[in-house]
Amino acid sequence: MNGFYEFQFYLFSLLAIASALLFVTRKNPVPAALWLVNVMFALAGLYVMLDAPFIGVIQVLVYAGAIMVVFVFVVMLLNLGRSELTDLRSLGARLGAGVVGLALLANLLVITRQRVPRVALAPPADNEVEAVAASLFTDYIVAFELTSLVLLVAVIGSVLLAKKRVRA
Amino acid sequence: MMPILFAALQDAAVTAPAPALRAGLTVPLVLLVLLPLLGFVINGAIALAGPDSVLRRGGTDSTTARNPVVTVVGPGVLLASFAVAVSIFLKMRSLGAGAAGPLDAPLVVTFARWMPVGNLAIDWSLQLDQLSILMALVITGIGSLIHLFSIGYMRDDASYARYFAYLNLFVAFMLVLVLGGSYPVMFVGWEGVGLASYLLIGFWFGEKANVEAGKKAFVVNRVGDFGFLVAMFLIWVTTQQLDYVGAHAALGAMAGSPVVLAIALFLFLGCAGKSAQLPLYIWLPDAMAGPTPVSALIHAATMVTAGVYLVARAAPIFAGAPEASLVVTAVGALTAVFAATIALRQWDIKKVLAYSTVSQLGYMFMAVGSGAYTAGVFHLVTHAFFKALLFLGAGSVIHAMHHAYHQTHRRDDPQDLRNMGGLAKFMPATAVAMTLATLAIAGVPPLSGFFSKDEILSSLFARAQGSPLASASLLGIPGHTVLYAAYGLGVLTALLTAVYMTRMLMLTFGGSNRTGEAEQGALHEAPGIMTAPVLVLALLTVIGGWLNLPALIPIGPVGTLDAWLAPVTGASAARLGGTAHLDHNTELLLVGIAVVVGLVGILFGVLRYRAPIADKAHSPEDTGLLANAYRVDGMVDALIVRPFRGLADVILGRGVETGIDRAFSAGGTMLIRTAAFMGEKLQDGDVGKYAWMLAAGALALIAALTLS
Amino acid sequence: MIAEALIVSAILFVIGVVGVLTRRNAIILFMCAELMLNAVNLSFVALAKLHNVTGQVFVVMVMCIAAAEAAVGLAIVISVFRHFGTVNLSELRTLRG
């Protein structure tokens, strides 16, 4: 049982990472967006395996289903299609970025190893959604309300920004 | 200042002689120095406030020429000083000074504390003893004569007042030099005469060459001054005293030690600078750019003799360092012959006399170096007589030549021997005087030069035969070799001296006149005010020998100077010379040789130089080695001056000026521009760049977190 | 599993960083930012398993904010595209220092 679980876990991880790599290397924004969606699906799977099914579901619904849709929508709207040849930066920049990335990765791994204890997974809680809801609407109610405010501002802002200037 | 000074005089401290002496001599002593200083102040005020002054640039015709106040004050203070000096001298004589009298030890008058620093306490003090009063007499006496001569010579010069101001200043400092009671006070005089010399050499500063000559004199003297200073430091470090009485007593006890040797050598370096010995003589020929009376006073009779005075004054030190004394003798001998060879081929009348002075100074150093202090000082005095005479006579000649050229508006060199000739019939008095001087310097008896020069040579020979100095050795060369060699060079120099002086005489006064038909009408004897001092000096040149007649020729009182100076230098002379004594026959032989050599030289000169020569305009330029003084100036320029200039260029010009100055002035702006440049580059709107910076910053933070 | 999840999160995050540094297209850049946010979400969820449920609450917050950010950001991109005709960042340099 544990072995199967681990296998699944690694499978989803690999999917996520591979999709991410494919995502950053696509020239065309549309396939890139789709690969990102794939990453999100894999991550949703991981969330479920980490005993956060609610998060996993809203990941698919909100992130993949709404936010990424907006991205693809805008891409289509701007009719970008195949991007110009100069989209990717120079080889030097890419190598540099690679170096920075690796350095960052090394650091993060070291920190992880240092500070995170290797413990066995606790058994899943009975009602995860309830737990989340309880915490969200009591301890973090202020944050919740503020988030809705942010969303309101975002709606107004994006409408204003994207509006065509009708007046001359 | 005067009230303070007089108050200080009331409680001036006096050492050694009886209190009865104190009131008698202290005031005159101070007066002696203050009178010329007063002259400087008055003449200086006239020069500054007068129409010629830099403070008041009047019309181009403004001048202090023939200003009557200056004419009275300038020479007047000198004559007054001389009178005071004579009165002091007579008082000292009457006290039986010279023998074991009350003035056996010097009279030191202290005025005020100068430098009380820690345990260093230097006082303003004057020391009166036989040596210093003798020097003071020479300075004020010959100085007075030269001041009188200058009234005529500088009469029409626009800067008449300034001239006398500087000349008075010089005399004041020279008196401080010889009357000072300690090395620092002497050094004040030493530097002061250097300053006055610089001011007077470059007196006609409109001409660049004169200014350069003044600078050269000052800079070369500085090298010597360095030696003097180091010697003073050494004396202080060793004995904690700097006054003559104390320091000499302490150093005398340390005779033979390396410290005393070092002090003596450094003091001699100072002498070499001031008295134009090898290798620091190069300033003296150039110093002829100054007015001729200045050359007479400063560069013949007084300032250049300061070095000889110093050795005589510091006799206890030199006597305690036989090697240093041998060095002094050797350098003196070499300089004497070196300069004499150059004088053989100089065409400027003043340059001949300048090199002659260097050569005769060499004689004086030969004497004091070998411990014959009296002989050296004797020659100093007689040389002052006949060299001043020669310079003043040359001044008269130049004055006449200049006047003649001025009348006919001809531009030619009034100082060149080739333009002279046959002047005897135009200026008979001057001619006679200068002939006497030439005979004296050649050592013809019974003129003064004969006695003094002969005494030097005899002393050298006597000491070479056997004395403590002869037993010493210099760098492996035994002392008697050095002394014999010095004697030999001295005789050779005597020959050369006779030759070049006769040459000068013949070319100037003998033969036919080369100045020109038109000019001859304007050539005449100098006015009385100029000729009178010349004649006085001629008289002194003739009878000067009486000062120190040798036992060999007892035509008058024997060894007067010897006895007079004995309390000051006798002990040191005995230390170096022992009981060196020539027997009667040897001495007669030496005298004979000297006289014969002198006469041979004169004869050779007469025969060789009576043939007519062309005047300067028609003569080819003399590029010979001697005429160009062995091209030493060129060597100094190439070896010392140019490298220094180059070094200064690099260090100051390129290093300091461009490096440091620019760093401070332009550096500030460059710093800000760089910062602005960086800021500009960082915020150019390129989002990708911002992303990079974010990533880099985040990486740094996380790395810090990891490593902590 | 938590450590592995964190490692995966780190890898995804780094890929996102590299993407931001390498690409010039504004929209792709945005999507890389989204990838980074997702990686962080994974971290939160994993650590929520270690500690308490606050991690998951925070994920909800992140998602909301990401949505708002995406909306506004894309609106800006559209506006920029209308004005400059391009979304290539190298050519969008008028906001100079």
Q: Which partners does chain A have (≥3 C-beta pairs < 8 Å)?
A: B, C
Proportion of chain A above pLDDT 90, given as a percent: 41
Residue that is written with structure tokens 């005789």 in the block: B491
Whether pLDDT at C9 is above 90: yes
- Domain check: are A20 and A76 in the same one? yes
Note the Cα A133 to chain centre separation in Å.
Answer: 22
pLDDT for C48-93, tens place per residue? 888 888 889 999 999 999 999 999 999 998 888 888 888 787 777 7
**What 8-state DSSP symbol labels residue B473?**
E
Report the percent of chain B where pLDDT is more than 90. Answer: 29
Q: Is the pLDDT of residue B649 over 60?
A: yes
CB contact under 8 A, A50 and C25: no
From start to end of B336-481, where are the E strands? 473-474, 477-478
Q: Is the pLDDT assigned to residue A131 strictly greater than 50?
A: yes
With CB atoms and an 8 Å threshold, state whether C35 touches A16.
no
Number of domains in chain C: 1
pLDDT for the residue numbered B561 = 81
Task: Examine residue B550 and say whether the peptide bond preceding it is cis (omega within 30 degrees of 0).
Answer: no
Q: Is residue C95 part of a domain?
A: no
- List, for residues B618-630, the tens digit of each pLDDT value: 777 777 777 777 8
CB pair distance less than 8 Å for B703 and A107: yes
Asked whether residue A4 falls in the same domain as residue A73, the answer is: yes
Q: What integer best gives the mean pLDDT of chain B?
A: 84
What residues of C are in contact with residue A92 (Cβ under 8 Å)?
Answer: none
Distance from CA of C10 to the nearest CA of B (A): 13
Across the range B691-698, mean pLDDT stands at: 88
Please indicate whether, in this complex, the C-beta atoms of C95 and B685 are within 8 angstroms of each other: yes
User: How does pLDDT run across A3-18, given as a tens digit for each residue?
Assistant: 788 899 999 999 999 9
pLDDT in tens, B519-536: 777 777 878 888 888 889
Q: pLDDT-based confidence at B16, cuts 50/70/90?
A: very low
How would residue B13 be classed by pLDDT, with cut points 50, 70 and 90?
very low
Residues A8 and A75 in one domain: yes
Section B77-94 average pLDDT: 88
Taking the C-alpha atoms of residue B306 and residue B297, their distance in angstroms, rounded to an integer, is 12
Residues of chain C contacting A23 with CB distance shorter than 8 Å: 19, 31, 35
Domain membership of residue C82 (yes or no) is yes
CATH number at residue C22: 1.10.287.3510
Tell me what the mean pLDDT of segment B317-325 comes to. 88
The residues of B whose Cβ lies within 8 A of any Cβ of A are 688, 695-696, 698-699, 702-703, 705-706
Per-residue pLDDT, A143: 92
Q: Are residues A52 and A128 in the same domain?
A: no
Confidence (pLDDT) at B684: 77
Q: Are B164 and B43 in contact (CB under 8 A)?
A: yes
Query: Residue B6: what pLDDT?
Result: 43
**Among chain B residues, CA nearest to A87:** B688
Same domain? For A1 and A71 the reply is: yes
What integer pLDDT is reported at residue B10 of this predicted model?
42
Rounded to the nearest angstrom, the gap between the alpha carbon of residue C62 and the centroid of all alpha carbons in its chain is: 10
Judged by a CB distance cut-off of 8 A, whether residue B695 touches chain C is: yes
Which of A95, A107, A113 should one mutate to test binding to chain B, selecting the residue with the greatest count of B CBs within 10 A?
A107
Place of tokens 């009602």: A127
Answer yes or no: do B702 and A104 touch at CB < 8 A: yes
Contact state of C60 with A97 under an 8 Å Cβ cutoff:
no
Q: Is residue A96 part of a domain?
A: no
- The distance of Cα B636 from the centroid of its chain, to the nearest Å, equals 21
Most confident by average pLDDT, A77-81, B115-119, B195-199:
B195-199
pLDDT for B168 beyond 90: yes
Identify the pLDDT of residue B58: 47
Q: Would you call B552 helix, strand, or coil by DSSP?
A: coil
A92 lies in a domain? Answer: no
**Global confidence as pTM:** 0.70
What is the domain extent for residue A6?
A: 1-82
Asked whether residue C94 is assigned to any structural domain, the reply reads no
Whole-number Cα distances in Å, B561 to A111, B325, B554, B565, B576: 105, 22, 14, 6, 19
Q: Quick one: tokens of A168?
A: 């001359």
Highest mean predicted confidence (pLDDT) among A129-133, B404-408, B688-692, C55-59: C55-59
Phi/psi of residue B254, nearest 5 degrees: -100, 20
Which residues of B are less than 8 Å from C17 in CB distance? 695
Chain C residue numbers with beta carbons less than 8 Å from the beta carbon of B690 are: none
pLDDT interval class at B63 (50, 70, 90): low
B-chain residues within 8 Å CB-CB of C29? 687, 691
Interface contact B685-C20, CB threshold 8 A: no
Question: Please, which contacts does A124-127 make with residues 24 or more away whose CB atoms are closer than 8 Å?
Answer: A124/A51, A125/A51, A125/C53
Domain presence at residue C32 = yes
Q: Do C96 and B679 touch (CB under 8 A)?
A: no
**Prediction ipTM score:** 0.90
pLDDT of residue B685: 76
Question: What residue type is B276 in one-letter code?
Answer: A
User: What pLDDT does B9 receive?
Assistant: 43
Work out the minimum CA distance from B704 to partner chain A, whole angstroms: 9
Q: Which of residues 27-56 of C touch A (CB under 8 A)?
A: 27-28, 30-32, 34-35, 38, 41-42, 45-50, 52-54, 56
What is the SS3 string spanning B370-386? CCCHHHHHHHHHHHHHH
C-beta pairs of B239-244 under 8 Å, 24+ apart in sequence: B240/B119, B242/B122, B242/B182, B242/B183, B242/B184, B243/B108, B243/B123, B243/B125, B243/B127, B243/B181, B243/B182, B243/B183, B244/B106, B244/B127, B244/B181, B244/B182, B244/B183, B244/B313
Size of interface A-C (CB pairs under 8 A): 239
Are the C-beta atoms of C3 and A116 separated by less than 8 Å? yes
* CATH number of the domain residue A17 falls in: 1.20.120.1200
In this structure, are residues B302 and B174 in contact, taking their beta carbons and an 8 Å threshold? yes
Chain A residue numbers touching C30 (CB-CB < 8 A): 71
Q: Please report whether residue A107 resides in a domain.
A: no
Of B111-120, B155-164, B194-203, the least confident:
B111-120
Find out whether B695 and C21 touch, Cβ atoms under 8 Å. Answer: yes
**Residues A4, A70 share a domain:** yes
- Sequence-separated (6 or more) residues with CB below 8 Å from residue B656: none
Q: How many CA atoms lie within 13 A of C46 on its CB side?
A: 26
Q: State the nearest Cα–Cα gap between A5 and chain C, in angstroms.
A: 10
Examine residue C13 and state whether it is found in any structural domain, yes or no: yes
Whether the per-residue pLDDT at B565 is higher than 50: the answer is yes
What residues of chain A have any CB closer than 8 angstroms to a CB in chain B? 89, 93, 97, 100, 103-104, 107-108, 110-111, 114
Residue A103 to residue B706, Cβ atoms within 8 A: no
Task: List residues bridging with B97 in a β-sheet.
Answer: B99
Q: How confident is the model at residue B166 (pLDDT cuts 50, 70, 90)?
A: very high
Which 2-61 residues of chain A touch chain C by CB within 8 A? Answer: 5-6, 9-10, 13, 16-17, 20-21, 23-24, 29, 32-33, 36, 39-40, 43, 46-47, 49-52, 54-55, 58-59
pLDDT band at residue B12 using 50, 70 and 90 as cut-offs = very low
| Number of domains observed in the structure of chain A | 2
Distance from CA of B705 to the nearest CA of A (A): 8
Domain annotation covers residue A1:
yes
Last residue of a domain, one of A27, A50, A82: A82
Residues A148 and A73 in one domain: no
Determine the distance in angstroms separating the CA of C8 from the nearest CA of chain A, rounded to an integer.
6
Contact residues on chain B for A114, CB-CB shorter than 8 A: 706
> Would A21 be classed as within a structural domain?
yes
Q: Is residue C93 part of a domain?
A: no
Q: Is the pLDDT of residue B573 over 50?
A: yes
Give domain status of residue A111, yes or no: no
The verdict on a CB contact (< 8 Å) between C79 and A104 is no
Domain boundary among A58, A82, A106: A82
**Residues B264-277 pLDDT 10s:** 999 999 999 898 88
Whether the Cβ atoms of residue B628 and residue B526 lie closer than 8 Å to each other? no
Residue A110 lies in a domain: no
Q: How confident is the model at residue A71 (pLDDT cuts 50, 70, 90)?
A: very high
How would you class A166 by CB atoms within 10 Å of its CB: exposed for 0-12, middle for 13-18, buried for 19 or more?
exposed
Is residue B14 predicted with pLDDT exceeding 60? no
Question: Is residue A75 in a domain?
Answer: yes
Higher model confidence: residue B226 or residue B409?
B226
CB C31 within 8 A of CB B702: no
The answer to whether residues A4 and A61 belong to one domain is: yes
| Same domain flag for A69 and A133 | no
Q: Using the beta-carbon criterion (under 8 Å), do A121 and C49 form an inter-chain contact?
A: yes
Give the mean model confidence (pLDDT) for residues B285-296: 90
Nearest residue in chain C measured CA to CA from A146: C61
Range of the domain at C9: 2-88
| B246 Rama class: left (phi>0) / alpha (psi -120 to 50) / beta | alpha
The answer to whether C23 contacts chain A (CB < 8 Å) is yes
> Does residue C96 lie in a domain region?
no
